[in-house]
Structure 1
Amino acid sequence: MSPFHALLALHNLAALVWVGGMFFAWMILRPAAVSALQPPERLRLWFDVFPRFFLWVWAAVLILPISGVGMLHMGFGGFAQMPFHVQLMIGLYLVMLSLFLRVQLLLLPPLRRAVEAGDWPAGGAALGDIRRMVGANLLVGVVLVFVAVARPSF
């Protein structure tokens, strides 16, 4: 396996973890939790799920630009020769990173405080804010994956 293809595999795995994790949480786990759990248990579940998932997202946040810049230099000779689809992917990554940081730094602390205080209405409101932000990030991630898959071959 060439170094370029090793970076590509690592890059794709990081994207799969991040976007696939959001897809699973939004489309599978959330509806199952709503139907099977009462609000206090549901909030505790998400309170436990987010840190576990976010650890993997942080890994993806680091791996994606490192592997992407490596591929950029190996495949295109650096930033000066960067094609438009790569520019678009970088821009969409930055949008996803911004949305993730908003959840991690601004929306997760109110959920933590609400769950620790047993304030289920406030926790539900905080979880709703996180859900909307994750939904937006999932949409951006799906668009990014489409751009990556539909790109011209290297």
Structure 2
Amino acid sequence: MLLDPRGPRFAAAVTTVVLAAALIAGSLALVLTQAVVFAVTAASPRLGPYTLAYRALVAPRLDPPAEREPAAPVRFAQLVGLAFMLLAAVGHLAGLPALALTATAAALAAAFLNAAFDFCLGCEAYLALRRLTGRPVPARVPTGPA
């Protein structure tokens, strides 16, 4: 499955806002909500809540993408985000605010890198792991002339 790379970047922008709010408010509810978003998007990148918003509200106003990206790196990045949100939730529930703050801040930093600079840390980690195992995959695939 190939994705419009602008969709995950839009999702990262929304995630940045949600996680910044979670940090400011110290909100377990926002952490858990974002965990659900990460889980749904990891299961099916095309059905993620932020992806659906992108496809309904943003994509119709844009030209078709010049290139697409494989879904596997995006799924991996979403699983990494989910792991950090689960750590943050454990921190909240166990009365370990440093763990909650650190895990949320790490996920926020990764989301911000993607949103602001089009650098998906989780995707790059996935691609590096694939190269290390001798099974590289392309980061982006040209769509050809429109």
Q: 1:138-153 alignment to 2 at 5 Å?
A: 138=115, 139-140=118-119, 151-153=143-145
Paired residue for 2:76? 98
- In structure 2, the CA distance between the partners of 1:25 and 1:95, relative to structure 1 (3 Å rule), is same
Contact 1:47 1:115 in 2 (8 A): no
Tell me whether 1:134 sits opposite 2:124 in the alignment.
Answer: no
Residues 43-86 of structure 1 show CA distances to partners (whole Å, capped at 9, x for unaligned) of: x13322223312441354367xxxxxxxxxxxxxxxxxxxxx45
Paired residue for 2:31? 47
Q: Distance in 2 between matches of 1:62 and 1:32?
A: 25
List alignment gaps of at least 5 residues for structure 1. Answer: 1-7, 64-84, 142-146
Q: Distance in 1 between matches of 2:107 and 2:20?
A: 15
Paired residue for 1:69? none
Q: Distance in 1 between matches of 2:77 and 2:101?
A: 20
- In structure 2, the CA distance between the partners of 1:32 and 1:113, relative to structure 1 (3 Å rule), is closer
Percentage of identical aligned residues: 10
- In structure 2, the CA distance between the partners of 1:109 and 1:99, relative to structure 1 (3 Å rule), is same
**Aligned positions, number:** 107
Residues 99-118 of structure 1 show CA distances to partners (whole Å, capped at 9, x for unaligned) of: 2222224x233212111112
TM-score (norm 1): 0.48
| SS of residue in 1 equivalent to 2:145 | coil
Offset of residue 151 of structure 1: 4.8
Q: Distance in 2 between matches of 1:97 and 1:118?
A: 30
- Greater radius of gyration (CA): 1
TM-score (norm 2): 0.50
Residues 87-143 of structure 1 show CA distances to partners (whole Å, capped at 9, x for unaligned) of: xx23xx4433332222224x23321211111211221011111112223444246xx
- In structure 2, the CA distance between the partners of 1:126 and 1:31, relative to structure 1 (3 Å rule), is closer
- In structure 2, the CA distance between the partners of 1:100 and 1:118, relative to structure 1 (3 Å rule), is same
- Corresponding residue to 1:25 among 8, 15, 36: 15
Paired residue for 1:66? none
Structure (1/2) with the larger strand percentage: 2
Tell me whether 1:110 sits opposite 2:87 in the alignment.
Answer: yes
